[in-house]
Chains A and B, each alone.
Chain A
Amino acid sequence: MNRASDGWIDWRELITMLIIVNVIVGTDMMPLVLFKLGKNATWTFPLIWGVLIIVPLLALHSLLKLYRNKGLIQIIYDLTGNYLGFILSGGLFLIVFNMLIRMSYNFVQETSDIFLDTTPDLELYLLLVGAAYFIAKYGFETLGRVSSLLFPYLVAVFIVFVALARVDFIYQFLYPLGGPGIEKIIKSSVVHIPLLMEFILVATFFPFVNNYKDYRRGVWGGLAVSIITISLLLMIYIVMFDYNELQVVSHPFNLLIRVTGISRFFMNFDAFFFGFWLMMVILRISFYLYLNTALFAYLLKIKEFEPLLLPFATLTILIGFIPENLIKNIRIFKQNIFWNNVWWLLLALPLLLWAIAYWKGEFKHEKG
Chain B
Amino acid sequence: MRRVKLLLILLFLIILLTGCFDKSELEELAYVIVIGIDKGEVNGFEVTYQIGNPQVGSSDRVSAGKEPASEIITLTVPDLVTVRDLANISVSREVTYSHLKVIITGEELARSGEAFKLFDSVLRDEAIKHEVMLIVSKEKASEFIRGNEHELETRPHKHYDFMSRRWEETGLVPDATLLRFIPRTLDDAGLFLSTYATAKKGETIYGYEDQYLAGQVKKEGGNPIQMIGSAVLKEGRMIGTLNGEATKVVMLLRPQTVRRSMLASYADPLVKGQRIAARWMKTEPTRIKMNLSTDIPKIDVVVPIKMMILAIDSGIDYVEDLERQKILKDSIASSLERKSMEVIKKTQQEFKGDPFQWYLIARQQFWTLDEYKNYDWMKKYPRAETNVKYDIELTNFGRQFRPFNKEDIKD
Contacts and interface: CB of A to CB of B under 8 A. Distances in A.
Report A-B touching, CB under 8 Å.
yes
Interface of A: 39-40, 113-120, 122-123, 126-127, 130, 168, 170, 172-173, 175-181, 241-242, 244-245, 248-249, 254-255, 258-259, 261, 264, 267-268
Interface of B: 12, 15-16, 18-19, 21-22, 123, 126, 129-131, 161, 165, 179, 182-183, 186-187, 255-256, 360-361, 363-372
Contacts of A176: 363-369, 371-372
Contact of A115 (B22, B364, B370): B22
Could you say which of A122, A172, A180 has the most chain B C-beta atoms within 10 Å of its C-beta? Answer: A172
A239 to B, nearest CB: 11
A119 B18 CA distance: 10
B131 A122 contact: no
13 contacts: A117-B22, A127-B16, A172-B255, A172-B363, A176-B367, A176-B371, A178-B367, A178-B369, A241-B179, A244-B187, A245-B182, A249-B123, A267-B131
B126 A258 contact: yes
A135 to B, nearest CB: 16
A278 B19 CA distance: 18
Given A130-B12, A242-B187, 10 more contacts: A39-B369, A123-B15, A123-B16, A176-B365, A176-B369, A181-B370, A244-B186, A248-B123, A254-B126, A267-B131
Contacts of B371: 176
Contacts of A244: 183, 186-187
Contacts of B21: 116, 118-120, 123
A175 B186 contact: no
A189 B73 CA distance: 51
A235 to B, nearest CB: 15
A127 B19 CA distance: 11
A118 B22 contact: yes
Contacts of B19: 119, 123
A126 B18 CA distance: 13
B360 A172 contact: yes
Nearest to B162: A264
A28 to B, nearest CB: 16
Contacts of B22: 115-119
B16 A173 contact: no
A267 B19 CA distance: 28
Contacts of A181: 368-370
Nearest to B11: A126
A118 B364 CA distance: 45
A137 to B, nearest CB: 12
A177 B368 CA distance: 7
Contacts of A115: 22
A180 B12 contact: no
A313 B21 CA distance: 24
A268 B368 CA distance: 36
Contacts of A180: 368-370
A307 to B, nearest CB: 10
Could you say which of B123, B255, B363 has the most chain A C-beta atoms within 10 Å of its C-beta? Answer: B363
Given A116-B22, A119-B22, A168 B179 contact: yes
A178 B373 CA distance: 13
B15 A126 contact: yes
Contacts of A248: 123, 186
Per CB-CB distance, the 7 closest pairs between chain A and chain B, nearest first, are A172-B360, A244-B186, A242-B183, A178-B368, A176-B366, A175-B363, A119-B21
Nearest to B368: A178
A242 B130 CA distance: 14
Contact of B364 (A119, A172, A268): A172
Nearest to B359: A172
Nearest to A185: B368
A172 B357 CA distance: 10
A113 B16 CA distance: 19
Contacts of B363: 172-173, 175-176
A245 B364 contact: no
A264 B16 contact: no
A177 B371 CA distance: 11
A264 B131 CA distance: 10
A254 B256 CA distance: 26
Nearest to A264: B161
A156 B369 CA distance: 35
Contacts of A117: 22
A130 B9 CA distance: 11
Nearest to B17: A123
Nearest to A261: B131
B187 A114 contact: no
Contacts of B131: 259, 261, 267
Nearest to B182: A245
A126 B12 contact: yes
Given A126-B12, A258-B126, A241 B183 contact: yes
A60 to B, nearest CB: 35
Given A176-B372, A242-B187, A126 B16 contact: yes
A258 B130 CA distance: 8
Contact of A173 (B360, B365, B372): B360
Contacts of B183: 173, 241-242, 244-245
B129 A268 contact: yes
A77 to B, nearest CB: 32
A261 to B, nearest CB: 8
A175 B12 CA distance: 51
A40 B367 CA distance: 12
B366 A259 contact: no
Contacts of B179: 168, 241, 259
A135 B8 CA distance: 17
B369 A40 contact: yes
A266 to B, nearest CB: 12
A130 B183 CA distance: 39
Contacts of A39: 369
Contacts of A170: 256, 360
Contacts of A255: 130
A130 B13 CA distance: 11
Nearest to B256: A170
Contacts of B126: 113-114, 254, 258
Nearest to B373: A176
Contacts of B130: 255, 258-259
Nearest to A251: B126
Could you say which of B15, B16, B165 has the most chain A C-beta atoms within 10 Å of its C-beta? Answer: B15
A9 to B, nearest CB: 28
B101 to A, nearest CB: 9
A242 B182 CA distance: 10
A115 B126 CA distance: 9
A39 B373 CA distance: 13
Contact of B368 (A119, A179, A264): A179
B33 to A, nearest CB: 13
Nearest to B371: A176
A179 B187 contact: no
Contacts of B16: 123, 126-127
